C-alpha cells in the first residue's frame, strides 16, 4: 500500500500522512489533502513557510518523490533545533524540561500518561485528543466520559470521571490523599483540579477499572455526575468564607441546591445541559454572566453604606477619590472636603465599583439575588451574555425555597419548549425575549431591558387599538 506524506520542503517534517486507499475512498481526507497541498503552510518544526512537498512511500519503505518536488534528506527527520535529542523519543519534552525552573513535562513523565501524545501535540502544535462521548456504566447515570484519540497507534482513548467537589472546594487532606491514591491505582495518576465547570476530574482510567474506581470514589463520600443533558456541577464563589463583599451565603445556597436538585444533576432529562453558577456580588468572580445558563448574582437595592471616617482617612493617605467619583457609571457620587462622600441612591447602579475602590464604602443592607439566564460561550449562535429573568429575590436559608421555586419554574418552561440540543440562550433567541417572559410568567420591568431605547417607534398590542384604520 502506497503512503502519501505531505512534508516540509526544508526540514522534511511530516505534516500529514495518508494512504492511497484513504484518498480514494474518504472524501473528507481527499479534500484536506488537496487543500494542504495547494496552500502555503508554516512548518511547526522549523517555521519555514512555503508549499508542502508530496512524498510517496511504497510498502517496502522505498521513497518515490512526486515529480517536481525536491527529495528531503529524510521524511522522518527530527524537528530542527532538537538535534541534541535525536535519540530520545520525546525531544521537545526534553527541551522543555531543561532550565532552572520545575517542568510540567518532567512531572508528566513520572505518571502513566502516554507522553507520545503530548510530544506529538508539541510537534504539530495542536492537541492529539478529540471530543469523545459519554460512557455507560451500570449504576452510574452520568459522570463517566471518554476522550477520543487522534492517534490510535499511541493510545485508543482515555476514560475520565467527573467528581462533584465540596462547597467552596474545601477538600480535607484525607479526602484528597484518597483521591490521589485512586488516581495512582486505577488511572494515569493525574487529577484535573477545578475544571471550568467547577468539578474535579480523574483522568486516564481503563474501561475495566471504571467500576472499581467509581466504587472507591463514592466510598470516600463523593458523588459522580455532571455529564449529559442535566444540571451540570454548579460553581460558586468562595463568598462568606473569605470575601466581605458577598451579599448572600453562596456556600449555603450551593449545599441546599444539591439537596433539592441532586437527581437532576445525576440523571439527564433536559433538552441540553444546564450550567449553573452562583456569584456573591456583581463582581462575578465565577464568570456566571458569561458562561451560565442559570446565574444567581448577589445584589442589593438600597444605597451603599458609607463610613465617612474611613473614607476621609483613605483620602488623607493618598486615595484618589476624585477619579473614583468621575468613573462612577451612574455619576452618583460626590466628594466635598469637610462634608464627606455623598451617594445619590436614585442614580446608583449598585455595580460595586465604589466598594472595590474605597475601603469605607460597602454594599447596602437590603440584599438578595438576581436570577439571570442564557449565558454561554459556545452553541449554535455563538457567545451570549445572560439576561435578567428576576431582578431581585430574597435569598433566605436554609432551604432558599423562593429562589429554587423560581429556577424550577424556568427550567420547566425550557424543558417543555426547547428543541433537542438547544442551549438556553439559543432557545431564548429563537422564540424572542417577549415570548420567553410570557412563558416564564415574568412581569416586564426596567431591569429586564438589555439597553435603553434608541428610536421613537412604539409597540402596542392589537387589543389596545380600537380602530386600526388611519383617520
Whether residues 206 and 263 fall in one domain: no
The answer as to whether 100 is a domain residue is no
Q: What is the pLDDT of residue 466?
A: 65
Domain boundary among the residues 65, 95, 116 is at: 65
The answer as to whether 77 is a domain residue is no
Domain boundary among the residues 224, 249, 270 is at: 224
Q: What is the pLDDT of residue 420?
A: 93
The answer as to whether 471 is a domain residue is no
Residue 236 C-alpha cell reads as 460558586
Least confident of 146-155, 362-371, 408-417: 146-155
Q: How confident is the model at residue 52 (pLDDT cuts 50, 70, 90)?
A: confident
Whether residues 189 and 206 fall in one domain: yes
The answer as to whether 22 is a domain residue is yes
CATH of the domain at 189: 3.30.70.2500
Whether residues 290 and 313 fall in one domain: no
Strands 63-65 and 53-57: antiparallel
Whether residues 334 and 287 fall in one domain: no
* Contact indicator for 98, 92 with CB cutoff of 8 Å: no
Q: Which residues pair with 388 in a beta bridge?
A: 372
**Residue 173 to residues 170, 180, 257, Cα–Cα distance (Å):** 9, 10, 25
Whether residues 257 and 374 fall in one domain: yes
Whether residues 275 and 399 fall in one domain: yes
The answer as to whether 42 is a domain residue is yes
78 vs 147, more confident: 147
Q: How confident is the model at residue 457 (pLDDT cuts 50, 70, 90)?
A: low
Instruction: List the alpha helices (DSSP H) in 166-267.
Output: 173-186, 210-219, 250-266
Domain boundary among the residues 362, 379, 394 is at: 362
Residue 38 is inside which H or E element, if any? none
Nearest in space to 93 (alpha carbons), one of 111, 75, 66 = 111
User: Residue 68 pLDDT more than 70?
Assistant: no
The residue range of the domain holding 341 is 305-362
The answer as to whether 180 is a domain residue is yes
Q: Give the residue-averaged pLDDT of 406-422.
A: 94
Whether residues 343 and 378 fall in one domain: no
Query: What's the rounded Cα separation, in Å, for the pair 287 and 59?
Result: 54
The answer as to whether 33 is a domain residue is yes
CATH of the domain at 394: 3.30.413.10
Instruction: Give the number of domains in the chain.
Output: 4
Whether residues 216 and 313 fall in one domain: no
Whether residues 258 and 214 fall in one domain: no
Whether residues 245 and 358 fall in one domain: no
Percent of the chain with pLDDT over 70: 89
CA end-to-end distance (rounded Å), the chain = 83
Least confident of 42-46, 279-283, 333-337: 42-46
CATH of the domain at 332: 3.30.70.20
Per-chain mean pLDDT for the chain: 85
Q: Give the residue-averaged pLDDT of 29-49.
A: 72
The answer as to whether 468 is a domain residue is no
Amino acid at each position: 500500500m502506497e503512503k502519501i506524506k505531505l512534508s516540509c520542503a526544508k526540514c522534511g517534517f511530516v505534516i500529514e500522512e495518508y494512504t492511497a486507499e484513504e484518498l480514494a475512498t474518504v472524501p473528507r481526507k481527499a479534500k484536506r489533502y488537496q487543500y494542504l497541498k495547494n496552500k502555503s503552510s508554516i512548518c511547526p518544526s522549523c517555521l519555514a513557510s512555503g508549499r508542502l512537498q508530496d512524498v510517496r512511500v511504497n510498502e517496502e519503505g522505498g521513497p518515490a518523490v512526486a515529480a517536481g518536488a525536491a527529495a528531503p534528506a529524510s521524511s522522518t527527520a527530527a524537528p530542527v533545533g532538537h538535534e541534541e535529542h535525536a535519540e530520545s523519543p520525546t525531544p521537545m519534552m526534553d527541551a522543555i524540561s531543561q532550565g532552572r525552573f520545575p517542568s510540567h513535562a518532567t512531572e508528566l513523565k513520572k505518571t502513566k500518561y502516554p507522553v507520545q501524545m503530548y510530544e506529538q501535540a508539541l510537534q504539530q502544535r495542536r492537541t492529539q485528543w478529540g471530543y469523545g462521548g459519554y460512557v455507560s456504566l451500570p449504576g452510574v447515570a452520568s459522570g463517566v466520559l471518554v476522550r477520543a484519540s487522534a492517534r490510535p497507534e499511541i493510545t485508543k482513548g482515555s476514560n475520565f470521571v467527573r467528581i462533584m467537589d465540596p462547597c467552596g472546594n474545601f477538600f480535607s487532606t484525607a479526602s484528597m490523599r484518597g483521591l490521589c491514591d485512586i488516581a495512582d491505582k486505577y488511572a494515569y495518576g493525574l487529577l484535573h483540579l477545578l475544571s471550568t465547570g467547577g468539578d474535579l476530574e480523574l483522568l486516564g482510567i481503563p474501561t475495566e477499572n471504571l467500576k472499581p474506581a467509581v466504587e472507591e470514589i463514592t466510598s470516600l463520600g463523593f458523588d459522580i455526575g455532571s455529564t449529559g443533558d442535566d444540571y451540570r456541577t454548579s460553581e460558586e464563589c468562595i463568598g462568606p468564607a473569605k470575601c466581605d463583599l458577598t451579599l448572600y451565603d453562596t456556600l449555603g445556597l450551593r449545599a441546599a441546591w444539591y439537596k433539592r436538585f441532586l437527581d437532576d444533576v445525576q440523571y439527564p432529562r433536559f433538552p441540553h445541559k444546564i450550567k449553573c453558577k452562583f456569584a456573591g456580588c456583581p463582581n462575578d468572580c465565577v464568570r456566571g454572566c458569561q458562561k451560565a445558563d442559570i446565574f444567581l448574582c448577589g445584589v442589593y437595592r438600597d444605597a451603599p453604606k458609607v463610613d465617612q471616617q474611613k473614607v476621609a482617612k483613605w483620602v488623607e493617605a493618598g486615595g484618589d477619590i476624585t477619579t473614583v467619583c468621575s468613573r462612577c457609571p451612574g455619576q452618583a457620587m460626590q466628594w466635598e472636603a469637610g462634608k464627606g462622600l455623598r451617594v445619590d441612591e436614585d442614580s446608583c447602579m449598585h455595580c460595586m465599583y465604589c466598594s472595590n475602590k474605597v475601603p469605607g464604602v460597602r454594599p447596602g443592607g437590603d440584599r438578595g439575588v438576581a436570577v439571570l439566564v442564557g449565558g454561554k460561550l459556545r452553541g449554535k449562535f455563538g457567545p451570549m451574555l445572560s439576561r435578567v429573568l428576576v431582578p431581585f429575590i430574597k435569598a433566605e436559608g436554609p432551604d432558599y425555597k423562593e429562589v429554587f421555586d423560581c429556577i424550577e419554574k424556568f427550567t420547566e418552561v425550557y424543558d417543555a419548549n426547547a428543541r433537542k440540543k438547544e442551549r438556553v440562550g439559543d432557545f431564548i433567541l429563537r422564540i424572542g425575549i417577549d415570548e420567553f417572559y410570557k412563558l416564564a410568567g415574568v412581569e416586564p420591568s426596567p431591569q429586564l431591558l438589555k439597553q435603553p431605547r434608541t428610536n421613537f417607534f412604539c409597540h402596542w398590542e392589537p387589543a389596545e387599538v380600537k380602530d386600526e384604520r388611519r383617520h
